[in-house]
Structure 1
Amino acid sequence: MSIAQLAPALRPELSLAPPPLETAVAERTPNPAPRIRAVPEGTEARGFVLYVGLDEAKAAAAGTNLHRIVEALKALAVEIAPNAETYAAVALAPQGAGGRDVDVVRLALQDPAALAKYRQPEDAADRHPAGVIVDISRKRALLDGETAALTYKEFELLQYLVLREGRTIDRAELISSLWNADEDEVPNERTIDVHVRRLRAKLGGYEDIVRTVRGVGYRFDRHADVSIRQASTPSPDLF
């Protein structure tokens, strides 16, 4: 597959061929062999990663699909450099996950630069003891620097609301998402209020971070005295 054939391969109705790669580089810079990024001494560049944020629905709307795009890009790499080795990985996320597609992809595939945005210093609680820290990395909540005595299920409940900040979650969704049918004590839509009440009691003076939306369910709204700590590897529930 040639460069001129790349666009028609992705979308058959496109026929415009891009300018030769050498011409495009020459137009951008007088240096015929630019270094895109400095390589630290003692290391060598062995390849690159290209993150593409695109789901199947958006690909279909553009007249193509992810498989065709991947195959065309792999073929193009081999056309330009016959010795190139390629490997493609698909980033998976739960349906309805928020955020930009490319950011979801970078996090799912463990891009260090993307993960760094979610890291917080280990001594954050020591430097900022006042308020609430929801530590998803360690499955705990800190209240003014002290660990709240939450059960595993209570923390899961808090985490579920926190990761869906600003969205009201109805009781049925909380039950179906956090309890398995074979568990000994599966709440119904009336008794779920008991679990939320216990969680709020353990949050003490910060109980209002879990808001009750009358007749609907519960919601977490970001407060100035609440911070979220993520792990270097995001929670599976993040996406």
Structure 2
Amino acid sequence: MSLATVSTLPTAPAAPAPALRLVPDGSEVRGFALYVGIDEAKARAAGVDLPALVDALRALTAELVPSAETYAAVALAPAGLGGRDVDIVRRALADRTPAGTPKPETKPRRTGLTLDLGRKKLRIDGETAPLTYREFELLQFLVLREGRTVTRTEIIGALWSDAEQDVPNERTIDVHVRRLRAKLGDYGDVVRTVRGGGYRFDRHADVVIRYGEGPSPDRF
């Protein structure tokens, strides 16, 4: 009685599962932080001290990746503070994110543009905008003529009427407007260019104008 020989083909090893990546598009990994929760008493009980443990981890890293750079920081906490060592270390080193959770991207909160003509202040999303005196005067001049196209000649005559020298030309006004728009950021389009005419201020729903207690002497 003969036995049939069964041939088997070698099976290819299963492909490793792709690693879970929590890296946003446009970013790259430049390193990692390994938090070690252990106090000096536990280290001594294990027959090692903390400097020796740090040196051993650095030596292992250098062995695996000779070009890697390392930095060690010691986490300090009040004596007798309860809680897990590793959590105390993370809090002490300013990592308050739950382990394994990507930190959310923070975006500035949009609160709008507030122009206070009485106090001569402009706030953008809650922050004071660094306008120069001339930039504020230019913005105010346009705001007080809201919805009306103002020519470059009008701007020069109003804002440089008492200047004895360095009176700008019309092209220079364009430069001033570009700088103003840049400082207005996301709200720069409130100052619109009217082709062949000049400039016009168009208010948005998120723009607040405060005129102060009395009418501006510039308003008409």
TM-score (norm 2): 0.48
In terms of fraction of residues, the more helix-rich structure is 1
* Higher alpha-carbon Rg: 2
TM-score (norm 1): 0.45
